[in-house]
Amino acid sequence: MGTITRTFANNITTSGVFKPTAFNNASFDNVTAVPSGAVAGGNMVLLSTQTASASASISFTSGITSTYKEYMFIFNNCHPSVDGSRFDFNLSTDGGSNWNVTKTTTFFRAVHPEDDSFTGLGYVTGLDRAQSTSDQPLIDGVGSDADQSISGYLHLFNPSDTTFVKHFIARTSSVRNDDYHFDCLLAGYGNTVSACDGVIFRFNSGNIDAGTIQMFGIL
């Protein structure tokens, strides 16, 4: 039996499985290329971060292109200047000159107050939209106390497509001005076949006192 044959035999089990000793370099340092399709998609790429400071709104009007089929916006501890404000978003097809894409949506939420007096779950007709160009609420009644804010995310699917409407889903968590916790879920679509190249976030009253919003592209 030759040296190569013996080395191979010593590194394989009787059931035909390679032993750990068969691999003498577990590092990627020596990899020069990865075959097409060998790595699955789904990577999140941070494209932009904006920090609010008494800001009327935060908008993203660059970087939304056909490079990515999905965009994710994560908002962290967005705090309103006006107590009981509603946190909204809208879309643009002209780089932010207008925020008026027609939308149809569904909206429901769970609620639980700090005093544990009741719980609730239901559809909220006042926060959905039916072929409306108005801003779409992500959550309402956000408190302006020092410890109150909203956090959550918005997924926007294939905004650069020019054949189909623009679907989106969102989930938000907030402490309201009445000391209730709200868990809100939104889904809908922008009823346009034009490419959407802008997204804006703002409270319906006052400023975004503080908070950050990040935009990710998802491969």
**For the chain, percent of residues with pLDDT exceeding 90:** 80
Does residue 9 lie in a domain region?
no
Domain that holds residue 117: 44-218
Number of domains, the chain: 1
Cβ proximity of 157 and 91 under 8 Å:
no
Nearest-angstrom CA–CA distance, 20 and 39: 22
Does residue 156 lie in a domain region?
yes
Does residue 8 lie in a domain region?
no
Residue-wise pLDDT tens digits, 33-78: 555 554 555 589 999 999 999 999 999 999 999 999 999 999 999 9
Kindly state the average pLDDT of the residues 153-166: 98
**pLDDT given at position 7:** 62
Residue-wise pLDDT tens digits, 117-148: 999 999 999 999 999 999 999 999 999 999 99
Does residue 109 lie in a domain region?
yes
- What pLDDT band is residue 219 in, cutting at 50, 70 and 90? confident
- Least confident range from 10-24, 48-62, 83-97, 107-121: namely 10-24
State the CATH number of the domain containing residue 174.
2.60.120
Tokens 């990865």 sit on residue: 34
Residue-wise pLDDT tens digits, 200-212: 999 999 999 999 9
Does residue 23 lie in a domain region?
no
Does residue 16 lie in a domain region?
no
User: The pTM is what?
Assistant: 0.81
Tell me: pLDDT of 161 over 80: yes
**pLDDT given at position 26:** 53
Those residues whose C-beta lies under 8 Å from the C-beta of residue 90, and which sit 6 or more positions away, are 99, 100, 101, 134, 135, 136, 199, 200
